[in-house]
Amino acid sequence: MPSNPSDMSPESRTVSPRRIVVAMSGGVDSSVAAALLQRQGHDVIGVTLQLYDHGEAVGRRGSCCAGQDIHDARRVADRLGIPHYVLDYEERFKTAVMQSFADSYAAGETPIPCVTCNQQIKFSELLGTTRDLGAEVLATGHYIELRQGPCGPELYRAQDAARDQSYFLFATSKAQLASLLFPLGAYPKAEIRALARELDLPVADKPDSQDICFVPNGHYTNVIERLKPAAVEPGDIVHEDGRVLGRHAGIVHYTIGQRKGLGIAGGAPLYVLRLDAANRRVVVGPRESLCAHWIMLRGVNWLGDEPISADGLDVAVRIRSSAPPQPATLFQCEDNVKVLLRDGDYGIAAGQACVFYADASPRARVLGGGWIERTSGRTEQVGPREEETSRQGSGQRALRAGYGA
């Protein structure tokens, strides 16, 4: 852990004072990031994005970028004596994030809007604003560590494993990393709270946000119904063997792996296996039918130093933000990547992310990731190594390629 507030992450200790834009959400993390950078002698500018209906958001607790959060960010900036700007990104956010969220659900997927927001708003649009303000880099309060490696910037899991946000930042490109700072990667959350109190920041005891900012109280179906009405049209609940077992009120009410709340009774337990959006069907079956070993990805962002070998690359992957990394092998397949899970997993949902790590260690290097498009069982194979791959030790080839922590 850093010994004092001026000892931040490795990349911050090696730079001269410069102008830095800090994305300030109004929470404790980004507020402390701004304070630490200012204490280091940097010329700090705070920027807060108005992303979702300011009027509706005022006073809403537990969601980022709401009216109260904009007010809190301004109070912190005033306390630090730094310039603060509020930028209206509502239209861009609605198009790039909210509509994409609704479209993904309508297609039978389970999207992660926070990744899309980081990829297309914060680390794209806001980086442009950073340059417009004459700043060299953009800093955020994310818990992830950025180090300088022999081939350029490298991402690593945060020191505080419970707060590590690498799963949500896999889509950050190498070009974007060159203009980013993550000051909190080497800190535990408890120390950030303590620093906020020491610095007398008005948000020192503010609760962390939990909800998706445009989904108040977790009622995401209301948002989808407004943006994509067809996604809540009724249809059949069908067993994988073809039997119609009941009706549903819209596929958006279901997710892969769901067991409870299916509205069908009797027999052995059934789980949602897939969502057939084209035919408005919820397909169910036994738990064993949920098990997948192969994952086909789209939109892969590769952060490794060398291309994925034709023979495959042993790594560790996370297929849920709350899941630990598990052993897997990556195979390059034309323009995308296919993943072989050594032990298989259950309930993998299209639209979620599969994030690559050099190994399963707590401070492993992040090698990128992609969006889950579809899954299949062990019998589908690819490449010359096939089943041999699943028996090899995860991380061995990655370490040989120089991706060790």
Catalytic residue list: 117, 213
Q: Give the whole-angstrom CA distance, residue 214 versus residue 98.
A: 8
> Per the structure block, which two tokens stand in for 228?
């994509």
- pTM strictly above 0.85: yes
Do the two domains 19-218 and 290-400 of this chain adopt the same fold?
no
For 10-56, write each residue's pLDDT tens digit: 444 445 789 999 999 999 999 999 999 999 999 999 999 998 764 44
Q: Would the pLDDT of 225 be above 90?
A: no
- The beta strands (E) that lie in 34-192 are given as 43-50, 84-88, 137-139, 145-149, 152-156, 180-181
Q: Is the model's pLDDT at 281 over the cut of 80?
A: yes
pLDDT at 56: 47
Lowest mean pLDDT among 107-111, 137-141, 219-223, 236-240: 219-223
Tens of pLDDT along 168-202?
A: 999 999 999 999 999 999 999 999 999 999 999 99
Residue 90: count of CB within 10 angstroms of its CB: 16
Q: Domain 290-400 classified CATH 2.60.40.2310?
A: no
State the Cα–Cα distance between residues 42 and 19, nearest whole angstrom. Answer: 6
Task: Tell which residue, 44, 88, 91, has the closest CA to residue 70.
Answer: 88
- pLDDT of 57 reads 38
Taking the domains of the chain in order of start, what are their residue ranges? 19-218, 233-280, 290-400
Measured at the CA of 95, the angle between CA 92 and CA 98, to 5 degrees, comes to 110
Write out pLDDT tens, residues 297-339. Answer: 999 999 999 999 889 999 999 999 999 999 999 999 888 899 9
What CATH architecture is 19-218? Answer: 3-Layer(aba) Sandwich (3.40)
